[in-house]
């Protein structure tokens, strides 16, 4: 008959295993039907958020936009733009495209809210 | 459709959890003016009472365990704090509640979660030498100061009788105190100081809990006396007298007195023969042995009957079940979700000091599923410590 090696855990490793199992027992004792439902509801909310993020290119646009060096400069020293300034900025092509995106988003929000 | 009114007496853990869960589920009904949820409480600040045990040892700060109540409760819920929220009379037949401010609140559903308070009159002499972590933050901070300034001596931890909320806390305090005096104050056990633990029952917690607790006190050299029934405190001679005629000397007496419900409950004549609010142990609806029962009234948390343990863990699970039952009531769903008696008590074997890591375990059990043997661990300690930090944002908001 072939001999088989039996590996014995050293004291420290055994203690660490006990620690882990104890944590499992603790978590198991914590769970019940209502806790599961609460966790599920919270995860559902987070999933909704994830779905919003994952399902649009707006996130990529925002990702690039928020790293724009002009934005960094504006954050260091925010320009003060009043009504006249706003009207002037709206002549810029990029600003116009940004407005287009935002207004389309606003319209979509209005549509979505009306349908709940 | 006439507006339904859910009235919640008490803005503590139970009141906040139920209000947050029901208002989240019924947010459209609230928005349409079909449902009103109102909380009444004399206090506008919430305290995590379970955290008091840790304050004297610097393991938690007052900021950790304090939050403005309004910030914890959904804006969908009406909160009335102060005199207008201080309840004086509950009339279950008329379905109305009166407050100090003179207002009368009518309800369709009532949740009584007014907690409990220390009964200092139950033990003669106690009022004159009352040091504790069981009342409020101020008293707890005073105890902290006394411990810091105490040169040496005999410390006695006395639990005068039952029921007390969080029956595990006096024992937890004993273990934390022992580590504190040894490692922070540098006291040599047996020579500079003694700690004595006086307990009114034969066991501390369920059998498996008691086994580890008894062993822990023994290994630490803490005097452990059970079924100790004090009859009087003598503050001038610093002595405790027991029913058996025994005299115990002390230099510092830390007392956990027997508790009683909010005075308004007693004044309203709605308490049972043991002095607490009676309920069905599964539905948590007001029920005085079948003689008087009100299907629309829920009794939850520390204010409940003596046969339901008064623990923070228990209150959390009771609140969960009650929120669901209220939602079912409001929807007209004829389903009652039972409270299965989920309760528990964190067991602390040791604190986190310069020489050792803390060890603890959150022991839990239900009405019919007893506590199994367990082992306090380092991860258990960290889990317990973390819980009090995220308590406000997860538990109280009704998220887990």
Angle at A105 between CA A100 and CA A109, to 5 degrees: 150
Residues B252, B254: Cα–Cα separation, whole Å: 6
- Please judge whether A42 and B321 are an interchain contact, meaning their C-beta atoms are less than 8 angstroms apart: no
Give the residue among B116, B135, B119, B110 at the shortest CA–CA distance from B40.
Answer: B110
The token pair at B27 is: 């947010």
Looking at the DSSP assignment, which residues form a beta bridge with residue B45?
Answer: B68
Are A71 and A116 found together in one domain? yes
| B112-136 pLDDT, tens digit each | 999 999 999 999 999 999 999 999 9
Are A62 and A95 found together in one domain? yes
> B40 phi and psi, to 5 degrees?
-115, 130
Residue A105 lies inside a defined structural domain of this protein: yes
Nearest-by-CA chain B residue for A41? B399
Are A49 and A97 found together in one domain? no
Q: Which residues of chain B have pLDDT under 70?
A: 1, 190
Residue A97 lies inside a defined structural domain of this protein: yes
C-alpha gyration radius of chain B: 22
Residues B86, A60: Cα–Cα separation, whole Å: 53
User: Domain boundaries in chain B?
Assistant: 4-115+262-331, 119-258
* 8 Å CB contact between B38 and B99: no
> Can you tell me which residue has the tokens 């539905």?
B283
A25 and chain B: CB distance < 8 Å anywhere?
yes
Are A38 and A48 found together in one domain? yes
CB pairs under 8 A between A and B: 51
The pLDDT of residue A94 is: 96
Residue A37 lies inside a defined structural domain of this protein: yes
Are A116 and A68 found together in one domain? yes
The pLDDT of residue B298 is: 98
- Please judge whether B362 and A20 are an interchain contact, meaning their C-beta atoms are less than 8 angstroms apart: no
CA distances from B117 to B26, B89, B98, B331 (A): 33, 17, 20, 35
B367 and chain A: CB distance < 8 Å anywhere?
no
The pLDDT of residue B354 is: 85
Secondary-structure class of domain B119-258 per CATH: alpha beta
Residue A6 lies inside a defined structural domain of this protein: no
Residue A3 lies inside a defined structural domain of this protein: no
Are A42 and A65 found together in one domain? no
Are A69 and A109 found together in one domain? yes
The per-residue pLDDT string of chain A (116 residues; one tens digit each, 9 = 90 and over) reads 566 788 888 888 888 898 889 889 888 888 888 899 889 989 998 998 998 888 889 999 999 999 999 999 999 999 999 999 999 999 999 999 999 999 999 999 999 998 65
Candidates B379, B386, B387, B390, partner chain A, best to mutate (most A CBs within 10 A): B379
Total number of domains constituting chain A: 2
- Nearest CA to CA, how far is B300 from chain A (Å)? 16
| Residues spanned by the domain of A101 | 57-116
A34 and chain B: CB distance < 8 Å anywhere?
yes
Are A49 and A62 found together in one domain? no
**A chain contacts of residue B324, beta-carbon cutoff 8 Å:** 34
Which of 3.40.50.10330, 3.50.50.60, 3.30.1490.20, 3.40.50.300 would CATH assign to domain B4-115+262-331? 3.50.50.60
């Amino acid at each position: 008959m072939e001999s088989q090696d039996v590996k014995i855990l050293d004291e420290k490793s055994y203690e660490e295993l006990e620690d882990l199992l104890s944590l499992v027992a603790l978590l198991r004792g914590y769970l019940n039907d209502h806790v599961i439902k609460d966790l599920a509801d919270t995860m559902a909310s987070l999933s909704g958020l994830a779905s919003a993020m994952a399902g649009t290119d707006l996130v990529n646009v925002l990702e690039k936009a928020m790293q724009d060096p002009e934005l960094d400069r504006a954050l260091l020293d925010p320009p003060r733009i009043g009504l006249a300034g706003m009207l002037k900025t709206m002549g810029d092509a990029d600003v116009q495209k940004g407005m287009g995106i935002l207004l389309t988003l606003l319209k979509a929000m209005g549509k979505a809210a009306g349908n709940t | 459709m006439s507006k339904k009114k859910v009235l919640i007496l008490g803005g503590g853990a139970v009141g906040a959890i139920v209000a947050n869960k029901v208002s989240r589920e019924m947010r459209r009904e609230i928005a349409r003016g079909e449902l009103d949820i109102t909380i009444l409480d004399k206090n506008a600040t919430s305290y995590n009472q379970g955290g008091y045990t840790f304050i004297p040892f610097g393991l938690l700060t007052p900021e950790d365990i304090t939050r403005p109540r309004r910030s914890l409760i959904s804006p969908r819920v009406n909160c009335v704090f102060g005199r207008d929220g201080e309840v004086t009379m509950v009339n279950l037949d008329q379905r109305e509640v009166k407050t100090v401010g003179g207002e009368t609140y009518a309800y369709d559903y009532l949740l009584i979660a007014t907690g409990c308070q220390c009964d200092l009159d139950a033990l003669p002499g106690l009022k004159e030498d009352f040091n504790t972590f069981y009342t409020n933050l101020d008293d707890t901070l005073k105890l902290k100061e006394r411990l810091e300034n105490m040169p040496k001596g005999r410390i006695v931890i006395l639990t005068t009788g039952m029921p007390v909320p969080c029956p595990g806390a006096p024992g937890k305090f004993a273990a934390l105190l022992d580590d504190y005096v040894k490692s922070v104050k540098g006291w040599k056990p047996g020579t500079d100081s003694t700690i004595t633990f006086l307990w009114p029952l034969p066991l501390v917690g369920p059998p498996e809990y008691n086994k580890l607790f008894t062993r822990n006190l023994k290994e630490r050299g803490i005097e452990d006396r059970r079924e100790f029934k004090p009859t009087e405190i003598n503050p001038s001679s610093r002595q405790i007298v027991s029913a058996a005629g025994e005299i115990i000397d002390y230099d510092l007496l830390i007392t956990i007195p027997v508790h009683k419900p909010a005075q308004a409950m007693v004044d309203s004549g709605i308490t049972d023969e043991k002095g607490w609010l009676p309920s069905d142990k599964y539905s948590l609806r007001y029920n005085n042995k079948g003689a008087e029962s009100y299907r629309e009234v829920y009794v939850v948390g520390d204010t409940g009957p003596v046969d339901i343990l008064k623990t923070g863990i228990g209150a959390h699970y009771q609140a969960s079940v009650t929120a669901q039952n209220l939602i079912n009531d409001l929807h007209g769903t004829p389903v009652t979700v039972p409270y299965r008696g989920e309760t528990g008590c964190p067991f602390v074997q040791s604190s986190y000091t310069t020489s050792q890591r803390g060890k603890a375990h959150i022991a839990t059990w239900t009405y019919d599923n007893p506590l199994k043997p367990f082992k306090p661990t380092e991860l258990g300690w960290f889990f317990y410590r973390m819980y009090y930090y995220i308590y406000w944002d997860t538990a109280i908001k009704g998220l887990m």
